[in-house]
Structure 1
Amino acid sequence: MGFRLTEIYTRQGDAGDTGLADGSRVPKDHPRIEAIGAVDELNSALGLLLAELAEDARLAEVSEALAPCQHRLFDLGGELAMPSYRALQPVEIQRLEGAIDRWNAELGPLENFILPGGSRAVAQAHVCRTLARSAERRCRSLHAVEPLEGQGLPYLNRLSDLLFVAARIVARRQGVSEVLWQAARP
């Protein structure tokens, strides 16, 4: 592995710009930095979810399916920081789809809208899902000004789907009821 940080602060970003891995500099509010930040937020929240899942042996399969996602999100961050770099492969999307299909077969059809909640792990899976959608939107905004190649957009889309289904399978395996949406009554 190449470059390692030896200094945590350099003062180079004090004026509001930051360096990309290819050596170029952009404003800290550039769409590329927004996308990198959104992917990083998702990765951090996913770490919290994985810590929560580790406390419950019934959720080992869910943890095993989600743990590689942290690494793939870091790969995606690398792709965003180095525009010519490609790490994500279609097989990663297929892996997510396989888990979605397995868990959906166990769950059966969704008959109502559900709300985040029921347990901490379920709620955290939904937090991750919303952050995946946010990261996807930030990457889409970047794509509008600097076209993205590779698998990043489809990966984030499928990951948000996986996290939705993960929230449902966690509730089922924990034996907690999903929080069903109840429409307001006039």
Structure 2
Amino acid sequence: MVVLSKIYTRTGDKGETALSNGARVAKHDLRVSAYGTVDETNATVGLARLHAGGEIAEGLARISNDLFDLGADLATPDQHLDHTLSYTPLRMVAAQVDRLEREIDALNARLQPLRSFILPGGSPLAAQLHLCRTVCRRAERLATELAAHEAVNPEAVRYLNRLSDWFFVVGRIANNDGADDVLWVPGLTREN
């Protein structure tokens, strides 16, 4: 259980922070950047939830909780590298990725196939979901970069990859099941 009785600690005043295993690292450490961008993704989800209702709101609530799980996963270096943990760290699992895939497939079945790339926009919710998607993609890039240097749970990376797809499909759902998608017109302004 987390207990936050004091919000500021002054322990980060010199540019360091603690990972969940207690190790001190620079605030610009790649691991911190990865889980920090997952937190940023979650903040964009909070904004999207302001515009959402029904099944989209329910899905975003699940995603928000998952993103805290994901942040905890990325904030905890592989326990095989550090045996100081007195607990079993929370890790993303295949079932979370599988759930996203099932949801993507079910929602995508409602949509007409795309014949053009789409631009972020349409409804306020769709625009916000595209922001969620792009921040999620940045989190994925940072997590894969981290994985090139340190052990990272592969399910965490898979989750981020599927999640950006989920945001894309749900953005189309938020645009009247794709009917109000804003289509890219290549070279539209080249002759003006």
Q: Fold match, TM over 0.5?
A: yes
Alignment correspondent of 1:144: 148
Q: Are positions 1:120 and 2:107 aligned together?
A: no
Q: Are positions 1:179 and 2:182 aligned together?
A: yes
Give aligned pairs, total.
179
Q: TM-score, normalised by structure 2?
A: 0.88
Q: Which one-letter code corresponds to 1:37 in the other structure?
A: G
> Residues 2-151 of structure 1 correspond to what in structure 2 (within 5 A)?
3-54=2-53, 60-83=54-77, 84=79, 85-151=89-155
Q: Which one-letter code corresponds to 2:25 in the other structure?
A: V
Q: Which has the larger helix fraction?
A: 1
Structure 1 residues without counterparts, runs of 5 or longer: 55-59
Q: Which one-letter code corresponds to 1:49 in the other structure?
A: A
Structure 2 residues without counterparts, runs of 5 or longer: 80-88
After TM superposition, give the deviation of residue 150 of structure 1 in Å: 4.2
| RMSD, aligned CA | 1.5
Q: Deviations over 1:115-165 (max 9, x none)?
A: 001111010000000011001011111111112024100000000000000
C-alpha distance in 2 between matches for 1:51 and 1:87:
28
Q: Are positions 1:162 and 2:166 aligned together?
A: yes
After TM superposition, give the deviation of residue 22 of structure 1 in Å: 1.0
Q: TM-score, normalised by structure 1?
A: 0.91
Identity, in percent, stands at 46
Question: Helix, strand or coil: the match of 2:186?
Answer: coil
C-alpha distance in 1 between matches for 2:17 and 2:4:
15
Tell me which moved more, 144-153 or 22-31.
144-153
Q: Which one-letter code corresponds to 2:126 in the other structure?
A: V
User: Does the 8 A contact of 1:119 with 1:176 survive in 2?
Assistant: no
C-alpha distance in 2 between matches for 1:176 and 1:165:
13
